[in-house]
Amino acid sequence: MAPVEFVPLAPFTSFGVESTARYFSSFKDSLELEELLDWGLQYSLLILGGGSNLLLTRDFDGLVLKNEISGIIELHEDNEYVYVKAGAGENWHRFVLYCIERNWAGLENLSLIPGSVGASPMQNIGAYGVEVEDLFWDLEAWHIGEKRIVTFTNNDCRFGYRESVFKHKYKGQFVILNVTFRLRKQPRFNTSYGAIEQELEKMGVKELSIKAISDAVIRIRSSKLPDPKLMGNAGSFFKNPSVNKEQYDRLHDQFPDVVAYPNADGTYKLAAGWLIEHAGPAAGISWKGFRRGDAGCHERQALVLVNFGKATGSEIYQLSEDILQSVNNKFGVLLEREVNIV
Ligand SMILES: Cc1cc2nc3c(=O)[nH]c(=O)nc-3n(C[C@H](O)[C@H](O)[C@H](O)COP(=O)(O)OP(=O)(O)OC[C@H]3O[C@@H](n4cnc5c(N)ncnc54)[C@H](O)[C@@H]3O)c2cc1C
């Protein structure tokens, strides 16, 4: 099938900024994908999932391919685990709910993260003390250059904090087709992170279950994060930066309230939200709730950059650049963007 020309991309990304794809098509399996890649050999390529971790700063003068590979299959099970394979185009949250309904445990803390199953290993999505790598078994991906399917095990993906080989070593080389997860038949509840326990208490939960944890996470997330349908955003715009012990001690001496968590390797992970909130565009002004035109930072979470209506991708990008500079000037810490910039 021939791709469509000049397609507006605003409805396909959670920031909702204007951008036009020179060519656009969706694909439902690896055969369709292969045909489209052959067709568009000479064009630059953008693979799109749910568009919830993407900032488009210009028109895309190439081929945009939206992954719509669907299907969820229970592959096999053993005494402890069930192995579940999901098409990369499946909606992540719907997949999580599908597993919870069947009492397959592990994904409940990752409820309500927007986007597709296929993008989940890209940045090893994580929330409330759980990361995709904890449940990931393997994935199949299309090698664009070699025109063949390659399997990646957990080890092959080299997962890290919001990292995988697909963001660096193999950037732009693979299209993820499906992901298999290894889920527990007997749950191991993880409620120690964030406000899950308080929320469960508020909900009056007497008997803990993966459904109750999922509901608690959904309630917390809905109260904290702007709904992209109502206000364009891509969740956390920056990663939480890690610093070594000396840097942390120096920062802590100067700013005793700095929010940080020790990493297993002796470094400290700083809360990017705190750093941004305590820096600002000028003395006495915080980034939290800041607005310039239609680009800004959310009023409850400075780490979430938002499109109040008609902001362009480059306006949001420029704001992120100014935030980055101000944090570096005040704290000597260089933030790294989590959102993919195109
Ligand atoms: C309100 C909100 C809250 C969020 N909260 C969290 C959170 O708690 N934790 C977290 O980790 N993230 C969070 N995110 C970020 C986002 O939801 C995840 O990164 C998600 O996995 C992105 O999925 P997507 O399908 O929308 O990817 P897209 O935005 O479509 O794509 C992201 C990148 O992956 C590439 N890509 C997508 N699919 C494929 C594929 N099949 N094969 C190869 N490359 C592909 C794209 O080219 C792009 O570079 C949040 C976002 C929002 C809007």
pLDDT in tens, 156-173: 999 999 999 999 999 999
The residues, ordered by sequence, that sit 6+ positions from 342 with a Cβ below 8 Å of its Cβ are: 46, 54, 55, 56, 57, 58, 60
What is the percent of the chain with per-residue pLDDT over 90, rounded to a whole number? 96
Q: In what helix (H) or strand (E) does residue 6 lie, and over which residues does it extend? A: strand 4-8
Dump pLDDT digits (tens) for 219-267: 999 999 999 999 999 999 999 999 999 999 999 999 999 999 999 999 9
Paired tokens of 330 = 């005040």
Q: What pLDDT, on the 0 to 100 scale, is given for residue 193?
A: 85
Active site residues: 162, 236, 338
Mean pLDDT of 307-317: 97
Q: What pLDDT, on the 0 to 100 scale, is given for residue 120?
A: 98
Dump pLDDT digits (tens) for 283-297: 889 999 999 999 999
Strands 72-77, 126-127: pairing is unpaired
Dump pLDDT digits (tens) for 115-134: 999 999 999 999 999 999 99
Q: What pLDDT, on the 0 to 100 scale, is given for residue 233?
A: 98
Protein residue closest via CA to atom 15 of ligand 1: 53
pLDDT above 90 (res 64): yes
Give residue for tokens 């991708």: 313
Q: Which three-class secondary structure state does DSSP give residue 324?
A: helix
Q: What pLDDT, on the 0 to 100 scale, is given for residue 63?
A: 98
Mean pLDDT of 22-38: 98
Q: What pLDDT, on the 0 to 100 scale, is given for residue 106?
A: 98
DSSP string, 36-88: HHHHTTTS-EEEESSSTTEE--S-EEEEEEEE----EEEEEE-SSEEEEEEET
- Kindly report the number of other CB atoms within 10 A of residue 332's CB atom: 12
| CB burial readout 17-31, b (16+ within 10 A) else e | bebbbbbbbbbeebe
DSSP string, 222-254: HHHS--TTTSEEEEESBPPPEE-HHHHHHHHHH
Protein residue closest via CA to atom 47 of ligand 1: 47
Query: Are 84 and 42 in contact, with CB atoms under 8 Å apart?
Result: no
Mean pLDDT of 135-154: 98
pLDDT band, very low/low/confident/very high, at 1 (cuts 50, 70, 90): low
- Ligand 1 binding pocket, CB closer than 6 Å: 14, 46-54, 67, 88, 113-116, 118-120, 122-123, 125-127, 175-176, 225, 228, 233-235, 340
Dump pLDDT digits (tens) for 186-229: 999 999 987 999 999 999 999 999 999 999 999 999 999 999 99
Q: What pLDDT, on the 0 to 100 scale, is given for residue 194?
A: 74
CA distances from 118 to 180, 260, 267 (A): 10, 31, 31
Atom of ligand 1 nearest to the CA of 167: 49
**247 Cα: distance to centroid of ligand 1 (angstroms):** 31
DSSP category for residue 282? B
What is the percent of the chain with per-residue pLDDT over 70, rounded to a whole number? 100
**116 Cα: distance to centroid of ligand 1 (angstroms):** 7
Protein residue closest via CA to atom 28 of ligand 1: 51
Protein residue closest via CA to atom 1 of ligand 1: 235
Task: State phi, psi for 32 to the nearest 5 degrees.
Answer: -60, -40
Query: Are 162 and 123 in contact, with CB atoms under 8 Å apart?
Result: yes
